[in-house]
Structure 1
Amino acid sequence: MAAEKVNFTKKNIKELEPVPGKRITVYDETQKGLCVRVSPAGAKAFYCVRKVEGKVEWVRIGDAATVTIETARTTAAKIINDIAAGTNPAAQKRLKKAEMTFADLFAEWVKDGQAKGKKSLGNDERNYRLHLQGIARKKLSDIQRTHIRKLHAALSTTSGLYQANRVLELISAAFNFGIKVLDIPNLANPAAGIKANREESRDRRLHPDEMPRFFEALAAEENPDMRDYVMLSLLTGARRSNVLAMHWQEIHLERRTWTIPGPKAKAKDNIVVPLTDAAIKVLQPRAEATGAQGWVFPGTGKTGHLVEPKNAWQRLLQRASIEDLRLHDLRRSLASFQIDAGVSLAVIGKGLGHHSQQTTAVYARLAQDPVADAWQKGTDAILVAAGLKKTAEVVPLKKLPGHRKSAI
């Protein structure tokens, strides 16, 4: 039976009725190879049907409700010309469908990083989760330089120049991984050559005159997890990602130490962070409440622990009337107060996990006692500046307005 043909018009296509249990095909009298397929449910779509190397290929053009008849005819004519030139559009569509998305590529990147013990993988996953969902579902070949340039510019405004650069670096590294390690054919790096923001060395710290306002604002924070997290970030000088992922298995309250495993600490060896009197007073109630099991700061998200509390941090800064202070600056603040207290750079470096060819040998010869003493001096200096500690005794933070018991 000859295939049904009609001259495609809006009226004719609209009048095509579905047949229960059967898909029907109606061809255009004007454009060779163009047809409309009607599903049993009544959905209508344009296709170009041609035989390629002895096989009938159905190349979908689009939904008949959104694609105009003229566009369908023009597209069908182009498909037929491409086939005549040796290209198989249907095969190309199948390849496109099977092509990796950026999410697929990043998943491979994570697996490779885990196998190699990549130290910055936690930051990579956080940047992907927070900033790269807009391209996650895109096919790799669909991600263009314009997309990455716009993303970098937007992040420079909303998240800061430095954060935008870190995300740009991550995109570039992931694509290079796809090219050099996964050998994805014909893959180009859309981040290559995009100019990063100029970065200057940051020296922001909490200054002594800001300490009273900072601690008063911290005491007024209603979220005890946020309050304790900020306090421990300041009192330990640890990286914010390490404090977020602090686990009770790493804490020894009797020995007053927190041992950060090397892979988590971005260091070759484990880092032993001294826990000062003030830090113990934060941790002890949390240990009693949880039985010292699992994460110190448990969360409901994918990681199982608290994630970076950006909104709460901004609330804290607004209450304290403090500007241009980042969570990472708390790490720098402790070191600055230690330097002010006369602690040597070598001792500070050991506790912070800073390693270099010039200083590693010195750090290795240092005992833990001077480091613990340095941490006590640094946190004592912080508490004195905040007006919470005199020379010999701590003034409990609960005496400040709005305080809840678990702050320190």
Structure 2
Amino acid sequence: MPEKMHFTKSNLLALESVPGKRRRVYDEKQKGLAVYVTPAGSNTFYCIKKVDGKTEEIRIGDAATVTLEIARAKAADIVNDIARGINPAEQKRIKKAEMTFAALFSEWVKHCTIREKKSLGKDQDSFRLHLQGLARKKLSEIQRTDIRNLHANLSEKSGKIQANRVLALVRAMFNFAIQKLDVPRLKNPAKGIEPNRENSRDRRLHPDEMPRFFEALAAEESPDMRDFVMLSLLTGARRSNVLGMHWNEIHLERGTWTIPAIKAKGKEDITVPLTNAAIEVLQARADATGAQGWVFPGPSRTGHFVEPRKGWARLLERAGIEDLHIHDLRRTLASFQIDAGISLAVIGKGLGHHSQQTTAIYARLAQNPVADAWQKGTDAILVAGGIKKPAEVVPMKKGRKHA
């Protein structure tokens, strides 16, 4: 027969342990309520009931922290739930086995890798930098208020656009869990949260800012940061492409950098002309490193430099320049080329722009006018920055040294 007694605080404290096994005692007042006494003498409240012929034990809590009154109330609630056909023990098992947000992201990475999603690297950066607070949470635990607060905080700290990108990622991941992974009874907590309004950005480095910018860049202590910014400006390439630049993509003798389709946003190879100034930066790095592997190697999981945010903020503060993003360097080169009279079609080819309206024009362009456009644009930048004088601008070199 099961051991029973009328639970009181003093009776519970007086319960003696049994060497080598747990002692189970039922409460005579509240049906289903029991206490387990371990050999070490600690007491734990449980509600023990049969559900569909199976005995279920639902833990209520330690007697040292849960009062007898609360234990009885919780046991009564559990008994009532079971009477209504709800099995709290099964719900706990489901919750324990439920996928965490980090596990969902792992599945998302696998899915996007198979589909060759070009922005997967940005998704991984967003998860690493902004979503660690959700990583260990079960999917059902993530509430709408969590996502709304996350979006608001990122809007203030990381900018409205970055906040929108993270919001879109969370929404897409939950849709993926619901539609592709068939996670039961899951709602999307990001659904319906309004993103920040995004205005079209036309910021660039202006000629009057160039001297300060180059002076601050010359004072930068990190060679990687200095060269990364310089190459971003001189090539007009996207940040992710410059960070992931590999020596097997570069041909210094021809003066070209070929971004493979797998890294290109438009899913086609992009041939970026390397101007004289860009080649000087790369040649110096080649001489120092042997031109093997990543151009900007780093200790990250990717193997290359990944996060220039602190260095960029340091550079802008030193230059006294505000509201300038790394992507604005790409717009800066294009604007100087336009100022020099270069056609939009030529600029678009070198930048890797891709659209139905311009593809036919790009396809007919030879590389020489594109290379000439890059030289003119970067020469104009260097003149504006005080690095060169107009008289020092020379045609692109031929027969360059190959790294």
TM range (shorter): over 0.9
C-alpha RMSD over aligned residues: 1.9
Runs of 4 or more above 6 Å deviation = none
Aligned equivalent of 1:147: 146
CA distance in 2, matches of 1:13, 1:295: 67
Aligned match of 1:401: none
Give, in whole Å, the separation in 2 of the partners of 1:168 and 1:203. 24
CA apart distance, 1:221: 0.9
Q: For residues 293 and 42 of structure 2, what CA distance do their matches in structure 1 show?
A: 53
C-alpha deviations, 1:34-81, integer Å up to 9, x for none?
Answer: 223344556543221111111111112234443333222211111111
After superposition, give the CA deviation of every residue in 1:265-301 in whole Å (9 maximum; x if it has no partner): 2112111111111111111122222221221111112
Identify if the C-alpha distance between structure 1 residues 95 and 374 changes in structure 2 by more than 3 Å, giving closer, same or farther.
same
Q: Judge which range, 241-250 or 353-362, deviates more.
A: 241-250
**Could you tell me which residue of structure 1 aligns to residue 400 of structure 2?**
none
Aligned to 1:133: 132
The change in CA–CA distance for 1:374 and 1:143 in structure 2 (over 3 A counts) is same
Contact residue 237 and residue 351 of structure 2 kept, 8 A: yes
Instruction: Look up the equivalent residue of 1:267 and give its one-letter code.
Output: G
The equivalent residue for 2:115 is: 116
Do the aligned partners of 1:8 and 1:29 also contact (CA within 8 Å) in 2? no
For 1:361, give the aligned amino acid. A
The corresponding residue for 1:2 is 2
Distance 1:282 1:327 in 2: 18
Q: Among all aligned residue pairs of Structure 1 and Structure 2, give the percentage whose two residues are the same amino acid.
A: 73
Q: Deviations over 1:181-200 (max 9, x none)?
A: 22222221111111111110
Hey, what does 2:80 align to over in structure 1?
Answer: 81
Match of 1:356 in 2: 355
1:136 match: secondary structure:
coil
> In the alignment, what sits opposite 1:402?
none
Q: 1:214/1:58 Cα in 2 relative to 1: closer, same or farther (>3 Å)?
A: same
**What is aligned with 1:103?**
102
For 2:254, the aligned partner's letter is: R
Distance 1:336 1:12 in 2: 84
The alignment partner of 2:59 has SS state of strand
Contact 1:127 1:167 (C-alpha < 8 Å) held by counterparts: yes
2:113 maps to amino acid? Q
- CA change 1:137–1:359 in 2 (3 A) is same
Mapped to 2, the partners of 1:39 and 1:298 lie a distance apart of 56
Paired position in structure 2 for 1:403: none
- Rounded to whole Å, the distance in 2 between the matches of 1:186 and 1:213 is 57
Q: Distance in 2 between matches of 1:313 and 1:38?
A: 61
Contact 2:2–2:26 (CA<8 Å) still a contact in 1?
Answer: no
TM-score, normalised to structure 2's length?
0.93
Distance 1:347 1:291 in 2: 33
Q: What is the one-letter code of the residue matched to 2:360? A: A
In the alignment, is residue 244 of structure 1 matched against residue 243 of structure 2?
A: yes
Structure 1 residues 339 and 94: CA distance shift in structure 2, 3 A: same
* 1:349 aligned partner, one-letter code: G
Alpha-carbon distance in 2 for matches of 1:365, 1:301: 40
1:111-161 CA deviation, whole Å, 9 max, x = no partner? 111101111111111111111111111111111111111111111111111
Change (3 A) 1:351 1:12: farther
Task: Show the counterpart of 1:206.
Answer: 205
The CA distance in 2 between the partners of 1:367 and 1:68, in whole Å, is: 82
| More divergent stretch after superposition (62-71 vs 363-372) | 62-71
Aligned partner of 2:105: which letter? F
Residues 282-335 of structure 1, C-alpha deviation per residue, up to 9 Å, x if partnerless? 111222222212211111122221112211111111110000011111111111
> Which residue matches 1:166?
165
Would the alpha carbon gap of residues 39 and 220 (structure 1) be closer, same or farther in structure 2, given more than 3 Å must change?
A: farther
- Does the C-alpha gap of structure 1 residues 40 and 299 become closer, same or farther in structure 2, counting only changes over 3 Å? farther
Deviation of 1:15 after TM superposition, in Å, equals: 5.4
Q: Which amino acid counterpart does residue 272 of structure 1 have in structure 2?
A: T
Residue correspondence of structure 1 range 66-77 to structure 2 within 5 A: 66-77=65-76
Contact 2:48 2:58 in 1 (8 A): yes
| Conserved? CA contact 1:384–1:391, under 8 Å | yes
Q: Could you list the per-position Cα deviations for residues 365-385 of structure 1 after superposition, in whole angstroms to 9, with x for gaps in the alignment?
A: 111111111111111111100
Q: Structure 1: which 5+ residue stretches go unaligned?
A: 396-408
Task: Write the distance in 2 (CA, Å) between the matches of 1:20 and 1:227.
Answer: 70
1:239-266 CA-partner distances (Å, limit 9, x unpaired): 1111111111211222221111223121
1:48 paired with 2:47, answer: yes
Partner of 2:340 in structure 1?
341
Q: 1:6-405 residue pairs with structure 2 within 5 A?
A: 7-9=7-9, 12-13=11-12, 21-40=20-39, 44-393=43-392
In the aligned structure 2, how far is the partner of 1:325 from the partner of 1:207?
Answer: 11
- The 2-side partners of 1:20 and 1:283 are apart by 75
Determine helix, strand or coil for the equivalent of 2:150.
helix
Alpha-carbon offset, residue 13 of structure 1: 4.5
Between the aligned partners of 2:221 and 2:329, the Cα distance in structure 1 is 20
Distance 1:248 1:14 in 2: 73
SS in structure 2 at match of 1:166: helix
Counterpart residue type for residue 225 of structure 1 = D
Ranges in structure 2 where 5+ consecutive residues have no aligned partner: 395-403
The whole-number CA distance in structure 1 between the counterparts of 2:66 and 2:161 is 44
**1:79 touches 1:89 (CA, 8 Å); kept in 2?**
yes
Equivalent position SS for 2:392: coil
* Alpha-carbon separation, structure 2, partners of 1:82 and 1:32: 13
TM-score (norm 1): 0.92
The answer on whether the counterparts of 1:8 and 1:28 sit within 8 Å (CA) in structure 2 is no
CA-CA distance at 1:6 after TM superposition: 5.2
